[in-house]
Structures are given as structure tokens and as C-alpha cells.
Amino acid sequence: MNVMVAGGAGYIGSHAVKMLFEAGHRVVAIDNLYRGHRQAVHPKVAFHQTDLAETRQLVDLLERYEVECVMHFAALAYVGESVTDPLAYYDNNTAGTISLLKAMKTAGVERLVFSSTCATYGEPEGVPIVETMGQSPISPYGWSKWCVERVLRDYSAANPAFAFVAPRYFNVAGTASDGSIGEDHHPETHLIPVILQQLLGQREKVVVFGTDYPTPDGTCIRDYVHVEDLCEAHMVAMNALTPGDARFYNLGIGKGYSVKEVIDSAERVTGMKVNVEYGPRRPGDPAMLYANAQKIFDELGWKAKYTEIDTIVGTAWNWFKGHPHGYAE
């Protein structure tokens, strides 16, 4: 299939580009490189530096490469930043997707895999989280993604030929199992890279926010889904799309690991001791967030292969120990 990957130079997008190419698809990657890395894009894949707001250029690329499906990962994704600069998030994440949809409509592209998030649930009704639970985001980031889900529902209802799937991610983690590409954010806020950066001497300490949660060890529990499992789910969903589809799936491993468990795992994997400082809770951090991913298994047969935290951390360590400064190496 001819596939355009928007945000193809980002963490998840670059892994999707790699896996799509290796699966035999014809891929074109686009990214504005605001936070993406050109070096992360597979060297044999066509790349164009462009922004989602450039609707006319998107039309040209969709037509030139005869694109049949778009995988859309291009988003700003820092919750805290979204609170201080909400317009940037609605502009890029929501308005940018509308620009992309306009381009797809003009070019006659009727399939979309949209990168959504568990942040659309806000404070969940309970755990594990299922797709039928209410959605009430607590950050502009979550709302910007929720708005796109609403747009997709309405656009799909008005255009019977259009089909989309919106996977809702939990905590994406790990890197390519062959060590070829990895994770490089500035600033870095994800727990596993933060821990590994501390072990590599790039951070003085790892701060654990809250040790008095109602969990077995007092720290927050999250669902860590490996980036390769995530991208495989996108390909499975893409191949299953038929006209009129409007699908939503949770993507996770169906269980959670606590902050302390992740730190312990990093120490086992690396053989080094993490310098930890314990601090107070952060406002808005739920005690537990993990997915029920049964729906995508029942409908598409997908389930995560990486479910043990040491294996997930091990793939990340394989990248970070060889690229302590990310793609700047």
C-alpha cells in the first residue's frame, strides 16, 4: 500500500516508517522537524519537510505518491506545555488535522490512522480503561485530540467512503529492537529515558513525584506499551479498514508497572544504581492508568508481544547506551 506518515521523523512516526517500509509498503514521510529528527527517517524512504498547515503542499504530495492511507502522528504532546500554550496545541493538533483532512479530501484519500491518546479519558471512571468509558480530558493536549476524534466522527458520517481508526495510546516506551532508531525528545519527560539519562550522567537525579498513592508501593502505576507493538497495531488496523469504518481502540499491554518497578527494572538491565529523589505528588496525576485492550484483540487479533518491563527497558537501553545524546551523536 502507498502510505504517507505524518510526523514521520518523530519518535513513534519514525518507528512506523521503518516497520511499514520493511513490511513492503511504499512510504513517504513528512515532518516539519520542529521536534522530529531527519536522521530518524529510514534512509530509503522519501522524506519531505512540510507542515500540516500547508494544505496545498499536502495535496501535491498525496497525489504525487498516489497515497492510499495516511498514518498521522504529527502532534505536540507535552501536557504541561499545553496548559501554558493551549493555542499552539489546538493550532497544530486540531487545526493541523483539519488541514490534513481537507488535503485528503481534495486528493481522494479515504483512509486515515490517527494517533490519539488515553488523555482523552481524563480522570477515568476506573481501571482498566475500556473504550466505552466517558471522555473528559483535563488538559488542552487531551482536548486537542478529543476534538479531532469528534471531527473524524462527523466527517466520517458525512462521507460514507471515508474510513478511520483512532488508537488511544497509553505510555509508549522502548526503541527499535535492532537498535537502529530510538527516542530523542527535547525536553525529555518520559520516565524510562529520564532514568537512563541519569544513569548515563546527563541528569543529577530522577525525581519520583509522590510515594503515598493507593498502590502496592505507593508510586503511580502506568501501562507501558512498546513502540514496535504500537506500530504493528497501526499496520493491522490500516489493513482492516473498509469504507465507513469509524474505529477506536485502546493500545496498551493490559497491566501496569509502578514508578518504583520501572526504576528497579532499569537497575537490573543496566547493572547500575539510579539516584532517586522522592518528592510530593504532582496535581492531576491519577494513581493508576492502564488499558483494557481486549477490543482490538477481539476485532483484529492484535495484542502486545512486549509485556515484561525488563524487555521493554532493555530495548531502550540498547539505544541509549550507544546514543547517549540521541541523534546528535
Q: How many Cβ atoms from other residues are within 10 Å of residue 297's Cβ?
A: 14
Is there a contact between 131 and 168 (Cβ–Cβ < 8 Å)? yes
**What is the rounded CA–CA span in Å between residue 100 and residue 201?**
41
**What is the rounded CA–CA span in Å between residue 258 and residue 308?**
13
**Has 141 been annotated as catalytic?**
yes
Cα–Cα distance list, 262 to 48, 86, 271 (Å):
37, 31, 14
Can you say whether residue 66 is alpha, beta or left, with left for phi > 0 and alpha for psi between -120 and 50 degrees? left
Is there a contact between 27 and 20 (Cβ–Cβ < 8 Å)? yes
HSE, side-chain direction, 13 A CA sphere, residue 254: 13
Catalytic annotation, pick one of 90, 121, 141, 213:
141
Angle between helix 309-320 and 191-199 (nearest 10) = 50
> Per the structure block, which three cell numbers stand in for 313?
527497558
**What is the rounded CA–CA span in Å between residue 196 and residue 248?**
33
Angle between helix 55-64 and 96-107 (nearest 10) = 40
Is there a contact between 312 and 174 (Cβ–Cβ < 8 Å)? yes
**What is the rounded CA–CA span in Å between residue 234 and residue 225?**
13
> Per the structure block, which three cell numbers stand in for 239?
489493513
Q: Which residues are designated catalytic?
A: 141
